[in-house]
Structure formats: C-alpha cells, structure tokens
Amino acid sequence: MTVSTTSPTGAPGVRLVTVDHPPVNALPVRGWYELADAVRAAGRDPRVRCVVLAAAGRGFNAGVDIKELQRDPGNDALVGVNRGCAEAFAAVYGCEVPVVAAVQGFCLGGGVGLAGNADAIVASEDAVFGLPELDRGALGAATHLARLVPQHLMRTLYYTSRTVTAAELHAHGSVWRVVPKTALRDAAIGLAAEIAAKDGQLLRLAKEAVNGIDPVDVRRGYRFEQGFTFEANLTGTAARVRDTFGTEARP
C-alpha cells in the first residue's frame, strides 16, 4: 500500500496525493486511514492552496478490500473499514483547501465516496462511476453519489449496481472536464493550479464557507447509511451476498 504526496513541477501551491495499491486500488482498513492522513496533512500545510487526489494503475478506486472482510471471522475488519472509509471521505470533504479528483478507469464504491466529496472532478474518457454495494453485501455512499447525479438516477444506479460514464456525469455538470487518459494528470493539475493562483487565506475561508452552505451533511448521511450495513451483517444477509463475490458473472 502506497500513498505518496508530491509537489508537481510548475504548479506552486498544489499538492498531488496519489494512491497506489495494486491490482485495483481496493483499499484495506489501514489504506483508508493512510489516505485520510495524507489529505489532511496536505490541507494543513500553509503553503498548499489546492490538493489533487489521484491514483496509479488501471483505475481510481475499486472500493474496500472485500477479501480482507472475507478473511475476518468476526467483525473487526468491517468496523475498521467502515470507520476508515468515513475518515477518508471526511478528510477529502473537510480538507482545508479545495480538492480536485483525477479519476481514471473504474471509480466504484469507496471511489464514489472520494470523488463525490471532492470539490471538482476531472476524468479520463474511460472513467466509469458506480456503487456495486448491493452486489457486495453492503450499503453506503449513496450520500456521495447523490452529489454527482439527480435523485432518481442515483436511486436507479444504486438499486441496479449499474455504472455511468464520465461523459454522462459531465452532461450532469458534476465532472468538470473529460480528457484522454494520457492527459488526465496534467488537466487535473492545471485546474488545481488555476485554483491555487488565488489568495491562500481567502481560499481556505471560501472552502469553509461553501461547506457551510451545503444542503447535505455528508458525514452524518454516510454514517446513517453505514448503520444498515451493520444490520445486514448482523442478520447474515451481507455474508450471504458477499460470499458470492467473484463466483458469478455479471450480466
């Protein structure tokens, strides 16, 4: 598991936080906490005025590490990953400066939580977004998907586990730009640099102000959803569904 923080050349005030956890950036418990720590640290740095959240590999994020949950005979991994996801999502949303998500390939489950809490999204042409939670014995992140698409589309995507493309989200206004994959990093850093050209103190005030007028309390909404994940686990429903993961072909 690697979470790195770098300063892109030619983009003063921008920090690039990159997740690299092969093969698909499905994060274990500690990975979510490491990501939260990296984003918070970048936002606290007074020299930073914008953060770019990116990932290495084929996709942005495939959610939680289901195999870690399957290996745990109890509920420690479940509790840990739920708290870890909540911390990572809150770190992005509550980052003291704006966060630009650079999304390529798959952005699923927890990936939607990260992107949905960002201030802006730049996506590659191959990017797809979705919540396969019902296929994985879990619930959650509808709070964040609702920030990306209209209410009825969110519900349809949630119930069916279908995905939407970056182009479709661009049409809804939730993705700022769709670019070729080879241009993604530069496009995201370019947007971040434009933001970072503003006064740093004013940007921090602006971020706090915009969060303050948000009509949805994203942290409380997500924790509410997670309560139903725990209920599904206590009743055995989650394990029954989760144990089919990887054994059935999707239609």
Name the percent of the chain lying above pLDDT 70: 97
Q: What is the pLDDT of residue 250?
A: 37
Average pLDDT (244-248) is: 59
Average pLDDT (210-219) is: 94
More confident residue, 136 or 195: 195
Rounded CA separation 220/231 (Å): 17
Instruction: Give me the amino acid identity at 133.
Output: E
Q: Which is nearest to 81 in space by CA: 133, 144, 145?
A: 133
Q: What is the pLDDT of residue 128?
A: 98
* Encoded tokens for 132: 């396969």
Q: How confident is the model at residue 246 (pLDDT cuts 50, 70, 90)?
A: low
Q: What is the pLDDT of residue 98?
A: 98
Range 2-182+198-242: architecture per CATH: Alpha-Beta Complex (3.90)
Domain ranges of the chain: 2-182+198-242
pLDDT at 249 over 50: no
pLDDT at 1 over 90: no
Q: How confident is the model at residue 244 (pLDDT cuts 50, 70, 90)?
A: confident
Q: Which is nearest to 128 in space by CA: 97, 88, 170?
A: 170
Q: How confident is the model at residue 137 (pLDDT cuts 50, 70, 90)?
A: confident
pTM to 2 decimal places: 0.93
Q: What is the pLDDT of residue 35?
A: 98
| CA 13 centroid distance within chain | 22
Maximum C-alpha span of the chain: 54
Output the average pLDDT for the chain: 93
Are the beta carbons of 40 and 91 closer than 8 angstroms? Answer: yes
Rounded CA separation 11/189 (Å): 7
Q: What is the pLDDT of residue 67?
A: 81
Average pLDDT (175-197) is: 98
Q: What is the DSSP string of the chain?
A: -EEEEE--TT-TTEEEEEEE-TTT--B-HHHHHHHHHHHHHHHH-TT-SEEEEEE-SS-SB--B-HHHHHH-SSSHHHHHHHHHHHHHHHHHHH-SS-EEEEE-SEEETHHHHHHHHSSEEEEETT-EEE--GGGTT----HHHHTTTS-HHHHHHHHHHT-EEEHHHHHHHTSSSEEE-GGGHHHHHHHHHHHHHTS-HHHHHHHHHHHHHT-SS-HHHHHHHHHHHHHHHHHTTHHHHHHTTTTTS---
Q: What is the pLDDT of residue 245?
A: 62
Rounded CA separation 33/110 (Å): 13
Tens of pLDDT, residue by residue over 6-38, are 999 999 999 999 999 999 999 999 999 999 999
Place of tokens 């102000």: 209
Q: Tell me whether the omega of the peptide bond preceding residue 12 falls within 30 degrees of 0, making it cis.
A: no
- Give the C-alpha distances (Å, rounded to integers) separating 199 from 137, 140, 187, 196, 212: 45, 36, 21, 8, 20
Name the percent of the chain lying above pLDDT 90: 80
Tens of pLDDT, residue by residue over 68-83, are 877 877 778 888 888 9
